Structure 1
Amino acid sequence: MSPPSALARLWAVALLLMLILALLPRAAAAHEYRPAVLTITAVEGEGATAGSYQVNFAPPFDAGRREILAVRPVFPEGCEYAAPTLTCADGLRGTLGVEGLAGQPVDVVVRIEHGPDRVESAVLRASAPQMTVRGDGGGVVWEYLSLGVVHILGGIDHLLFVFGLLLLVGFGRQLLWTVTGFTLAHSVTLALSAMDLVRPQQGPVEAVIALSIVLVAVEVAGERDDRAPSLSHRWPVLVSSSFGLLHGFGFSGALREIGFPAGQLAVPLLSFNLGVELGQLAVLGALWLMWRGLRERERFDTLAPRLRVGAAYAVGALATFWTVDRVVALWQ
């Protein structure tokens, strides 16, 4: 029997670390920021005042310092707020923002329900603390699909893992199967977590997601022509599927905070997942166009292996920093 590859050994360590972290008491994962959630729901039915909305605002919480962060929603002009009721005579539309996000590493998840199947949603942060409320809301499918696209494009760790898979197998049919395995795997855990059937602690999950990027980068950087192909090169879909299960739990964190329209689960869940995949495919498409352009340059075939290894080292170094930072944060 041949000795285990470096990836196999590191993979075993990763799985052991994941098990240990998952079993840690919740207090050990203390230093985390819980996002704020702003839900605005139109009040309907007999006796309801036109332009009346029910507001539920859960401010962000710094679990490390055990304190609520001082942020507050700012509603559009023409609206009057007397907690928990928001009254907008001409309807809820215009600029909705959040004060106090400057310098804070937190998000504010906003969901506005204008009525059945008319939902608006967004994620506000320090770099983009405002949104424009259209006033009518789009369909559930469009809102959750667009939210999935925005989420994956802002999830640099998930995108770097996909980039690592690209470095591992290159463009071609094998990439299709590898990314498909990743997609199917994270779809399963995303659904399980959204339905509250499985709900691991987010801190340990994020730490192991970073570690998964390190492992793929190590495998790419350690590839040699004089060595037998490792398991990850022979069965990359196994690697992508295994770690895809973890990434699904990462995706589910945002979706749980946003929540679902009353009585609906399947449609927004599928729409969000489709949005994630569309964003992922858009990034791969952009990388493919870049690769096609580079192929036209002289000496590309000579420089390509060096660029590939250099990219793997860069990705691995960044992911190593994330891993250490996220593990240390669990104990602060």
Structure 2
Amino acid sequence: MIRLWWLIMLLAFPASVQADELRPGYVEFTQNTATQWTLVWKFPVQGGFTPSTQPQLPAVCKGAGAPVREFSDAAVTTRMPVHCRQDVAGQTFGLENFNTLQSDVLVRIAPLARPVQAIRLTPAAPLAVISARADRWQVAQTYFLTGIDHILFGYDHLLFVVALVLLLSGFWTIAKAVTAFTVAHSFTLAGTTLGWIGLPQKPVESVIALSILFLAVEIVKRKPDDKRLSERAPWVVAFGFGLLHGFGFAGALKEIGLPEQDIPIALLTFNLGVEAGQIAIVGATILAIEILQRRFSMLLSPTIKLATYGIGITASYWFIERTLT
């Protein structure tokens, strides 16, 4: 019984209130001239990374200056100039002392004369070979897993989906609302990424926080004999907010960029990764609610209420933070 209660609470209260984090760690290796590169790596303060976790440069490269560190947004960002005496294609790049409990680190390699390449590093595979041109399978795998990361570590999107499930009842009602949310954010994700449409990111992030707060209020004010708009036409509400969340997904995807020669497959697999993570969240939430309802029905109502207030408080904090910063 206690484990079931904590399952609901873990879905409602992420380990950190930092929203919309695309990945636990990020490394960018960008070419400026024929021999000059810039290396940037960003690790979260609470991510389990240590000062000994450092990028391992290709054998043909070496640091050309002292690293400069900045502390912001609960993360440490380090920047360092690098000199490479020849092409890095075929060379090994990775991380030293990468033995944390965190998930993958995304590496973005941007040469001057070739498409941007994205590589994922894990504690089990901390090194990778830089390709002259990334093959399509590597692109598909990288962006699919990145999409899963974003829905699971992008806590604002996660909380919106959880709140949507808590608000509604009935499998098909939830399925229709989640489908509407999916279709809507797929439209704006593709349109924004391809440069067809766009909105300023700051206001979008603030309104995304408001969308979560709106659902939390709807759950608290829900009455069985007086259905509100969000219950009478949940797909309309989900579709409208889904359009906004798509701009948020696009903003996160913009951080790593898309491989110029494989944009369609990267965009498609990123979106599929988001959907895979979303299905997992919906399934886990429905399963937890169903088990509580069948076996510990007296805990269901107080658990949902407590989770809802937690979601609303978190969303309010995000809205204030994003509006003032």
Which category of TM-score, normalised to the shorter sequence, fits these structures? 0.5 to 0.7
Q: CA deviation at 1:58?
A: 6.7
Tell me what 2:161 maps to: 162
SS at match of 1:223: coil
- Among 228, 231, 248, which residue is 1:230 paired with? 228
- Evaluate the alpha carbon distance shift between residue 37 and residue 146 of structure 1 in structure 2; reply closer, same or farther with a 3 A threshold: same
What's the CA shift string for 1:141-174, capped at 9, x where partnerless? 1111111111111100100000110011135111
Alpha-carbon distance in structure 1 between the residues aligned to 2:177 and 2:146? 24
Tell me what 1:49 maps to: none
Alpha-carbon distance in structure 1 between the residues aligned to 2:207 and 2:311? 15
After superposition, residues 93-132 of structure 1 pair within 5 angstroms as 93=92, 95-96=94-95, 110-112=107-109, 119-122=117-120, 132=126
- Evaluate the alpha carbon distance shift between residue 204 and residue 36 of structure 1 in structure 2; reply closer, same or farther with a 3 A threshold: farther
Tell me what 1:185 maps to: 184
Report if the CA contact (8 A) 1:97-1:130 is conserved: no
The structure with the larger Rg is 1
Alpha-carbon distance in structure 1 between the residues aligned to 2:321 and 2:125? 31
SS at match of 2:262: coil
Q: CA deviation at 1:90?
A: 10
- Among 271, 291, 294, which residue is 1:273 paired with? 271
SS at match of 2:126: strand
Q: CA deviation at 1:77?
A: 6.7
Alpha-carbon distance in structure 1 between the residues aligned to 2:147 and 2:238? 20
What's the CA shift string for 1:26-71, capped at 9, x where partnerless? xxxxxxxxx9872458xxxxxxxxxx998455788xxxxxxxxxxx
SS at match of 1:265: helix
- Among 71, 74, 94, which residue is 2:55 paired with? 74
Consecutive unaligned residues of structure 1, counting only runs of 5 or more, are 1-34, 42-51, 61-72, 99-107
Report if the CA contact (8 A) 1:120-1:133 is conserved: no
SS at match of 1:196: coil
Alpha-carbon distance in structure 2 between the residues aligned to 1:146 and 1:197? 25
SS at match of 2:260: coil
Q: CA deviation at 1:85?
A: 3.1
Report if the CA contact (8 A) 2:165-2:286 is conserved: no
Consecutive unaligned residues of structure 2, counting only runs of 5 or more, are 1-24, 43-53, 65-81, 98-104
- Evaluate the alpha carbon distance shift between residue 325 and residue 86 of structure 1 in structure 2; reply closer, same or farther with a 3 A threshold: farther
- Evaluate the alpha carbon distance shift between residue 240 and residue 118 of structure 1 in structure 2; reply closer, same or farther with a 3 A threshold: same
Q: Find out whether 1:316 has 2:312 as its counterpart.
A: yes
What percentage of residue pairs aligned between the two structures are identical?
A: 37
What's the CA shift string for 1:187-212, capped at 9, x where partnerless? 11111110122222211111110010
Report if the CA contact (8 A) 1:182-1:243 is conserved: yes
Report if the CA contact (8 A) 1:75-1:95 is conserved: yes
- Evaluate the alpha carbon distance shift between residue 282 and residue 116 of structure 1 in structure 2; reply closer, same or farther with a 3 A threshold: farther
Alpha-carbon distance in structure 2 between the residues aligned to 1:36 and 1:120? 11
Q: CA deviation at 1:297?
A: 2.1
Tell me what 2:245 maps to: 247
Q: Find out whether 1:134 has 2:167 as its counterpart.
A: no
TM-score normalized by the length of structure 2: 0.68
- Evaluate the alpha carbon distance shift between residue 203 and residue 97 of structure 1 in structure 2; reply closer, same or farther with a 3 A threshold: farther
Runs of 4+ in structure 1 over 6 Å off: 113-118, 128-131
Please say which of residues 204-213 and 286-295 is displaced more in the overlay. 286-295
Alpha-carbon distance in structure 1 between the residues aligned to 2:88 and 2:259? 24
Tell me what 1:3 maps to: none
Q: Find out whether 1:326 has 2:322 as its counterpart.
A: yes
Work out the number of aligned pairs and report it: 259
After superposition, residues 176-215 of structure 1 pair within 5 angstroms as 176-215=175-214
Report if the CA contact (8 A) 2:61-2:85 is conserved: yes
Alpha-carbon distance in structure 1 between the residues aligned to 2:147 and 2:56? 25
Aligned-partner residue type, residue 167 of structure 1: L
Aligned-partner residue type, residue 247 of structure 2: F
Please say which of residues 249-258 and 80-89 is displaced more in the overlay. 80-89
Alpha-carbon distance in structure 1 between the residues aligned to 2:323 and 2:254? 23
Tell me what 1:104 maps to: none
Aligned-partner residue type, residue 300 of structure 2: A
Tell me what 2:303 maps to: 307
- Evaluate the alpha carbon distance shift between residue 287 and residue 166 of structure 1 in structure 2; reply closer, same or farther with a 3 A threshold: same
Q: CA deviation at 1:78?
A: 3.5
Alpha-carbon distance in structure 1 between the residues aligned to 2:89 and 2:268? 33
Aligned-partner residue type, residue 61 of structure 2: E
What's the CA shift string for 1:82-130, capped at 9, x where partnerless? 64537588943353379xxxxxxxxx9632379999943359xxxx999
